[in-house]
Structure 1
Amino acid sequence: MNKITIISGSHRKGSESLKMSKVLQARLEAHSSCDKAEIIDLAEVNLPFWSESYSDSEQALIDKVGAQLEASDGFVVVSPEWHGMVTSALKNLFLLFTSKQFAHKPGLIVAVSAGVGGAYPINELRTSSYKNSRLCYLPEHLIVRHVGSIFNGKEDDDKKTEAYIDKRATACVGMLLAYADALKTAREMMPDMSEFPNGM
């Protein structure tokens, strides 16, 4: 059984990213291979920006979040597209935490857009967040466009799009959990990389 952490990358409270995180949480917890799916909402969890030193309270929060990430078997990274980029809070998370939390664990990227965008966060996360963390992004991702029109529980929601995204999200969740099972074995077989803590 797998423990999955969903990282909602928006700074906005009650964001569309959080809405989609909850949708994915429900799909994960309905799956027979998932024991628990927890959300880290970066609008609520006020992590300090990366620095060379932290106050005691800041360090306590970093340690708490780090322990949750380390105990996870896989991740869902949900990002809005702001000015064609992921959020600063999400980038900061990948500066604060390392391979100790992420290495050789699967990650599903989910991009959220109010319009027809959403592709840029996929590219940015695949390019710049895996090198030292050694997080293994799936060869699949999910882009939720016109997110405001679906999963609101309203009669005027776009039911056709919602059904499509729901079906695709369920398939992505199944893939994530399959990789989570497989990479547990891979982690047991990894060579000692302590001499090479950073990727090239």
Structure 2
Amino acid sequence: MAKIVIIVGSVRSERHGIKVAKWVVSKLKEKGHDVSLVDPLELDLPILDKMYKEMESPPEKLQNLQKILKEADGYVPITPEYNHSVSSALKNTLDYFLEEYFFKPSAIISYSVGAFGGITAGNHLRQILAEMGTLAISSQLPISKVHEVFDADGKLLDENYDRRFSRFLKEFEWYMSALSKQRESGMPY
């Protein structure tokens, strides 16, 4: 169906985001989507100096990432909440690119160990994504008390999230389909 890129937002040693990401990857693959997982821990990108488009000879890992992002139909950034905002690892990963995101939807998943599920970080991320040209769908999937939702191996413990994700995905799929048709008919500029 669609090509979807999951972007993990944490590089911490005991991060919960990778559990969330692996669960999301499995849910998307169950629906037949082509899924790529972007993990800033594996990329080990330096703090942004030049964007991809400004580099004369980008490293191979950035060339591969650029191709994945360019071919995507949509993006699912998974953000922790650090001081009411997104993580620097997520922001740094996103900022290497720009045009690759244009006119494609994103669907925000946020999480925290607290009761609000990173919703403030998700709201901040919505502003960032809009500026980058990948408008976020209106729904957001906050995961509260993430340490109680997944076990140490990343197995989902709260089945309510399966139901919530299903509805979230339907909206995201609708936007991917709609914007794909519009991109086929041409760009607005």
* TM-score w.r.t. length of structure 2: 0.87
Q: For 2:120, what is the secondary structure of its paired residue?
A: helix
Q: Report the counterpart of residue 134 of structure 1 in structure 2.
A: 133
Q: Structure 2: how far apart are the matches of 1:111 and 1:54?
A: 31
What do residues 51-102 of structure 1 show as CA deviations (whole Å, max 9, x unaligned)?
137695x632222111111111111110001121111111112321102x11
What do residues 165-189 of structure 1 show as CA deviations (whole Å, max 9, x unaligned)?
2210122122212221221101123
Q: For 1:139, what is the secondary structure of its paired residue?
A: coil
In the alignment, residue 91 of structure 2 is paired with which amino acid?
K
Unaligned runs of 5+ in 2: none
Kept in 2: contact 1:7–1:39 (CA 8 A): yes
My pick for the range that moved more, 86-95 or 46-55, is: 46-55
Specify which of 161, 165, 180 is matched with residue 161 of structure 2: 165
In the alignment, residue 41 of structure 1 is paired with which amino acid?
D
Count of aligned pairs between the two proteins: 184
Kept in 1: contact 2:85–2:125 (CA 8 A): no
Q: Structure 1: how far apart are the matches of 2:11 and 2:163?
A: 27
CA pair 97-158 structure 1, distance change in 2 beyond 3 A: closer
Kept in 1: contact 2:36–2:68 (CA 8 A): no
Are 1:51 and 2:49 an aligned pair?
yes
Q: Report the counterpart of residue 95 of structure 1 in structure 2.
A: 95
Q: For 2:138, what is the secondary structure of its paired residue?
A: strand
CA pair 13-64 structure 1, distance change in 2 beyond 3 A: farther
1:8-23 counterparts in 2 under 5 A?
8-13=8-13, 15-23=15-23
1:36-115 counterparts in 2 under 5 A?
36-52=34-50, 59-99=59-99, 101-115=100-114
Give the superposed CA RMSD.
2.3
Unaligned runs of 5+ in 1: 194-200
In the alignment, residue 128 of structure 1 is paired with which amino acid?
I
Q: Which has the larger radius of gyration?
A: 1
How big is the shift at 1:44? 1.7
CA pair 178-55 structure 1, distance change in 2 beyond 3 A: same
Kept in 1: contact 2:126–2:135 (CA 8 A): no
Q: Structure 1: how far apart are the matches of 2:188 and 2:86?
A: 32
Q: For 1:6, what is the secondary structure of its paired residue?
A: strand
Q: Percent identity?
A: 26
Q: Report the counterpart of residue 122 of structure 2 in structure 1.
A: 122
CA pair 13-113 structure 1, distance change in 2 beyond 3 A: same
CA pair 50-158 structure 1, distance change in 2 beyond 3 A: closer
How big is the shift at 1:192? 5.0
Q: Runs (4+) of structure 1 moved beyond 6 Å?
A: none
* TM-score w.r.t. length of structure 1: 0.83
